[in-house]
Structure 1
Amino acid sequence: MENDDLILVVDDTPANLEVISEALSDAGLEVAIATDGERAIKQAERSSPGLILLDIMMPGIDGFETCRRLKASSITKEIPVIFMTALSDSTDKINGFNLGAVDYITKPFQEAEVIARVKTHLKLRQLNKNLETQVCLRTAELMTALKRMEDSQIQLIQSEKMATLGQLVAGVAHEINNPINFIHGNLTHIEEYTQTLLEFLHLYQIYYPQPVGEIQAKAKEMDLNFLQEDMPKIISSLRIGTDRIRQIVLSLRNFSRLDEATCKEINIHDGIDSTLVILQHRLKAKSDTHSIELICEYGDLPLVECYPGLLNQVFMNILANAIEALEEIQVKRKSEHLNQEPCRITISTSVIPGDQVEIIISDNGIGIPENIKQNIFEPFFTTKPVGKGTGLGLSISYQIIKEQHRGILKCVSTQGVGTQFIIQIPIFQKIKPPDRVSMISDHIIR
């Protein structure tokens, strides 16, 4: 522990020690003494004085060597050293300054000069320590500000592109919605009109079972009996198709949620399902990959207070990463002529203690290597080739869960087994709306 008021006086002459010690004590300073360089070094390391008065001409190691060893030690290198000497050669003074001394006191001593120089250097040391403290505090403040700025830039870098994507999704959904509603609405009339015509045709066949030859030939050519049976089936298929398109449009609108920048109660499962609709095509088999099995194990969840658009981005980022990981492992196994094990993604939800909900998204891929697992939530960290990923998806997801939802996002991964992303958020947020910078991440996806 440092003792800034302690002065260590090093001199092999008892008379000099007595004079200096008395003068410093009268000035209200605490004094310790040493009679050679070795003792001085040990005492300086033990008591950490505020300043050392060091004689040059001493038996054993001289003052210069003592100073050199003091400055070489991490414990004593910051302690100011003032040489005491009867030498007047400028070469000796230059040598002392080169070794790290801050001043010289010439023998015989002038008491007032000694006190003035000692107090000046004690004050300078204290000012220097205060300055270092202020620099450290300011540096910490600047690092915090830099971190905030980097976090903002991470969101701003992607905001234009992703906001445009969100608007595009909502725009496409709107454009599709109008004509499909028109088609879906008119299907009811077409079904009624078709049924009327079929009933009329059936009635005609009852009362005119033997029409003229030309009508019989045309009925045979058209396979009239088949048309009568198949027409209702076609209309039913059309209705199923339009229902499916309307559901996709609804999922697109739920996913983009351009008009929802406030915290509101939602069904978490609706957000997951709408995200899965967007990613459905990527789960299907392709020329070089098999289909990915999807297992949803939904618990009985209450409505959860959250920012729906932001939460959907988290689901999108994690699910897209899981799909990419499973696609990569399938391509690798195929190139190495290995057995293609079934790939699957499991999504489970539940209520956990503390009025929280937990969403676990798991895959049975190859897992994440231990040496990079700790870096996956860092901005711009990615293992993908250049142009294949920004390294922002998981970083932004972490911010959304931690900052916007006061929750936890963690990764559990075992190589050769798979990866789990665990999301835990409170059921009730009770927080202010996100600020402008936070809101722009509303449409950020990987």
Structure 2
Amino acid sequence: MKFSTPEGIGALILCALSIQYLRKFLDTPNRTPRWDQVLRKAWAGVGILFGIGAIFGIDDLSTGWLWAGFGAIIAYTVWLINDFKPARTLLLAVGPFMVMAFLSELMKSVVPTFREEYDDYIGSAMAFSVIWLITFIIIATRQKKALANESVEREKEAEKRREIEARKAELEALVAERTAEITQQKEELEHALAELRITQNQLVQSEKMASLGELTAGIAHEIQNPLNFVNNFSEVSVELIDELADEQQKPERDPELEAELLADLKQNLQKITHHGGRASSIVRGMLQHSRASSGQREPTDLNALADEYLRLAYHGLRAKDKTFNATFSTDLDPSLGLISLIPQDLGRVLLNLFTNAFYAVQQRQKQAGSSTSPALYQPAVRVQTRCENGQARIMVTDNGTGIPEELQTRIFQPFFTTKPTGEGTGLGLSLAYDIVTKGHNGTLQVESREGEGTTFIIKLPA
């Protein structure tokens, strides 16, 4: 085959096209950019070679040498990118064909008779090398596709990893931001809780002081009675002593009159002692109520405690409103005996319930006073104690305004009150409930009908 023949021209064109295929197959523009510039100019080299052969009529240069040169180009390209597996496979595919083409041309030039004698064997070997070439080109193509698929998968995995890393970084940023927000909220809540505790303690103290104020007002009025008796009987006793002294100065003394004066004097002193003791009892109750609870239980006369605080609550309200009048009665079970409790705490509970009861009847009295027939309503508060089934029961009943049914489940909640603003803290019944249930293992219940009255029931282990 000569360059000047159509077959030679076809070989030149086929070689040039093979170089372009090589560039595309091995991706030399990306893998070996500099060497790719040389391969891109292969068209010019082939054209120049073709022109020289046509112009000068070169007949002694066969296509075998052309294929040998093409094989050298492939070998050099594979050497440049030996890490690309399909390139090595392509070299393995082209190698036998290039070697056979080179040997065939060499034998034509050196031993032509040997070449002609064994032309059939050499042709078979060339055919085998072509089959080998096609087979390994297919294998190389599949390897390239597999590598391309692997590259795509790796890229997908890398993209997924990048997305995961980005999402992880985003989540970490969100977690850090949320943690900072939660930390700030925690600090704000702790600060608010500290302020709330301070406020709660202040309100509890305010409620205790309000209770103490009610007690003090009641005591001021209640203690006035025995003090009046003491003063009156003291004055009468002084008069009796003066009369007795005058009688003793007379020449003729009347023993019967002296005995009568002494008996009256003794009776007055007994009454002074009685009412003085009554005043001392009231003062002692006030001191017990005002001082902090020791938390120690002690045997207590529950009937006396209830009677004492009922009177003090009534007089406390009377001190605020001179026009207020109400009847209060007691039904105390004498078999109740002494109950183990904390008298200061339970005294606060009873005072709160009695004060609320008198307040309720006072409000209903005011409502009745504005109606057409105010005389039909008579305010009344009643206290009853019983010992039943191993429990001491105290019932405080009034015929006041009552509590609406929808509010009865909320009256023991802290800061909830049915009184107008400024007249209640909403802590009285809440503290009373805690004292009875937590401090004495008892129960505090309410039964009420709006417009008819209310009954509070305390049950304590007896």
- After TM superposition, the score normalised by the length of structure 2 is 0.48
**Greater share of residues in helix:** 2
Larger relative contact order (CA 8 Å, sep ≥ 6):
1
Q: For the pair shown, which has the larger CA radius of gyration, 1 or 2? A: 2
